[in-house]
Amino acid sequence: MRWKGRRGSRNIEDRRGRRMGLVGGGGLGVVAIVVIGALFGVDLTPLLQGGSAGLAPPTSSAPVTEADEQAAEFVSVTLADTEEVWQGIFARQLDTRYRPATLVLFKGVTQSPCGGASGATGPFYCPADNKIYLDTQFFTTMRDRLGAGGDFAAAYVVAHEVAHHVQHELGILGEANRLRRAVSERESNAISVRIELQADCFSGIWARLADQKFNSLEPGDIEEAMNAARQIGDDTLQRSAGRVPRPHTFTHGTSEQRQRWFATGYQSGDIRECDTFSARTL
Ligand SMILES: [Zn+2]
């Protein structure tokens, strides 16, 4: 992805290098992950249940490195790209104004109204404060643990969390969550899958329109995003953890579904093509 020298977003809240009043430790880390799993993050619980595949416990005082700074700059430009693209879509396709999300950069652990956040667990969106929580260390986890390396894989993850904010702005997230509270766990998971696949579709729209605006895509970028979508599919994550995939426990969709919905958004660039809630087949 071409991003150097481009404008970064102002909507970044940098909490790195700050000690939060949260005691670290493996147990708490796992609790935080379970909470976050329900909150539009990249759900890594299958990996954590895999024993030896467990991720490193979070630390709250890790220094901010040069690599962190690079990653933060990259995230800031990517976030700015999403703001321009979604402002355009809201104005043209929806006749309303887009209010951007704030992205919280943290390192180790931090707190959110949606619960504690731990860097090893993956980024998530919290609708209660309209904020995306991201430890850029997760990009390393993606590359080393999930086989999802590449800068555009990272951009896809940022775009996916922004997509949850877009869903929140459109009232989709609130409605879906109300529904989820009223049904069985199995049905709630099925609704979650529709939310997540729509976020993947929105991410595809973003990839297309950002490229049109900024000429940002390089050869191999879309493949990086598609590979990431495959690696974080529920069936693949469960299989990586040495388990037989159990579809009724899926909350994000299979690898094939996640790739296909990203591709649908990318190929169409049209928000109406992303109606996973009316789709007969996902
Ligand atoms: Zn999500």
Which backbone phi and psi does 216 adopt, to 5 degrees?
Answer: -90, -20
- What spacing in Å lies between the alpha carbon of 252 and ligand 1's midpoint? 7
CA of 132 to the centre of ligand 1 (A): 11
Give the pair of three-digit tokens for residue 49: 């249940």
pLDDT at 83 over 90: yes
Pairing type for strands 102-105 and 131-134 reads: parallel
**Contact predicate 105/17, CB 8 Å:** no
- List the one residue out of 9, 55, 13, 10 whose CA is nearest residue 32: 55
- For residue 259, being part of any structural domain is answered with yes
CA pseudo-torsion sign 241, 277, 80, 102: negative
Distance 158 CA to ligand 1 centre (A): 10
> What does the pLDDT read at residue 61?
58
Please tell me which residue, 184 or 30, carries the higher pLDDT value: 184
Inside any domain, residue 211? yes
234-251 pLDDT per residue, tens: 999 999 999 999 999 999
Q: Which two tokens stand for residue 69?
A: 């700074």
Q: What are the φ and ψ backbone dihedral angles of 276, each rounded to 5 degrees?
A: -70, -15
Give residue-wise pLDDT tens across range 147-165.
999 999 999 999 999 999 9
Cα-to-centroid distance, 41 and ligand 1 (Å): 5
Q: Which of 34-38, 64-68, 104-108, 182-186 has the lowest mean pLDDT?
A: 34-38
Our count of domains for the chain comes to 1
Is residue 18, in this structure, part of any structural domain at all? Answer: yes
Query: Is 37 a member of any domain?
Result: yes
Q: Does residue 280 belong to any structural domain of this protein?
A: no
Of all helices (H) and strands (E), which one includes residue 236?
A: helix 234-240
Query: How far, in Å, from the CA of 198 to the mean position of ligand 1?
Result: 9
Q: What is the pLDDT at residue 98? A: 98
Instruction: Kindly state whether residue 208 falls inside one of the protein's structural domains.
Output: yes
pLDDT of amino acid 40: 57
Determine the distance separating the centroid of ligand 1 and the alpha carbon of 191, expressed in angstroms. 12
44 pLDDT more than 50? yes
For 115, the enclosing helix (H) or strand (E) is strand 115-118
Ligand 1 center to 44 CA (angstroms): 12
Share of the chain above pLDDT 90, in %: 76
Give the distance (Å) from ligand 1 centre to CA of residue 164.
7
Q: State the chain's maximal CA–CA distance in angstroms.
A: 51
Per the structure, the complete domain to which residue 175 belongs is given by 12-274
Q: What would the mean pLDDT of 113-139 be, rounded to a whole number?
A: 88
Least reliable range by pLDDT among 74-78, 139-143, 272-276: 139-143
State the Cα–Cα distance between residues 66 and 25, nearest whole angstrom: 26
Q: Among all chains, which residue has been given the structure tokens 């390089």?
A: 218
The pLDDT, as a whole number, for residue 122 is 83
Distance 155 CA to ligand 1 centre (A): 14
Of 67-81, 85-99, 103-117, 161-175, the one with minimum mean pLDDT is 103-117
Q: Say if residues 164 and 136 touch (Cβ distance below 8 Å).
A: no
Distance, in Å, from the CA atom of 40 to the CA atom of 25, rounded to the nearest integer, reads 23
Residue 170 lies in a domain: yes
User: Does some domain include residue 247?
Assistant: yes
Q: How many whole angstroms from 162 Cα to the centroid of ligand 1?
A: 9
| pLDDT of amino acid 52 | 35
Q: What's the chain's average pLDDT?
A: 87
Distance 220 CA to ligand 1 centre (A): 23
Mean pLDDT of 13-40: 53
